[in-house]
Amino acid sequence: QVQLVESGGGLVQAGGSLRLSCAASGRTFSSYAMGWFRQAPGKEREFVAAISRDGGRTYYADSVKGRFAISRDNAKNTVYLRMNSLEPDDTAVYSCAADPISCPWLADTSPTGYVYWGQGTQVTVTS
């Protein structure tokens, strides 16, 4: 019922910036907390960032704090991930996900609460 489509991935040099977008359709966007996850080659999927339904609370993995910023525009049914100061270790497939959490001002940092997932977009950072 909920479709998520990521865009904005690509190849970037270390130290550069990139903005990912995730467009949602199918249900009321504001009914879902949104999260970004990533999976690097040979690694487990890991949490990157999340934002509450109302946009008032954000969460970040320690590895990206100060470099990445998550935001949402409920009028456009879109969530964003701005990535600055990119490093080779940031290379991964980035996926957005939707969490039908009942509390409007919280978000999950574990993937267990997220029930809808996009296909992912590749981000490659060169040295």
pLDDT at residue 44 is higher than 80:
yes
* Contacts for 60 with CB less than 8 Å, ≥ 6 apart: 48, 49, 68, 70
Band (27; pLDDT cuts 50, 70, 90): confident
* pLDDT category of residue 7 using cuts at 50, 70 and 90: very high
**pLDDT at res. 28:** 86
- Which pLDDT tens digit goes with each residue over 45-100? 999 999 999 999 999 999 999 999 999 999 999 999 999 999 999 999 999 999 99
pLDDT at 1 over 90: no
Cα distances (Å, whole numbers) of residue 7 to 20, 64, 65, 89, 101: 6, 20, 22, 20, 24
- pLDDT above 70 covers what percent of the chain? 100
Residue 26 pLDDT > 80 = no
Average pLDDT of every residue of the chain? 95
- Per the DSSP assignment, residues forming a β-bridge with 1 are none
Q: For residue 27, what are the CA distances in angstroms to 16, 32, 84, 122?
A: 34, 9, 31, 26
Measure the CA–CA gap between 125 and 71, rounded to whole angstroms: 22
Angle ∠(98,39,101) on CA atoms, nearest 5 = 20
**Is-contact 127 15, C-beta < 8 A?**
no
Residue 124 pLDDT class (50, 70, 90 cuts)? very high
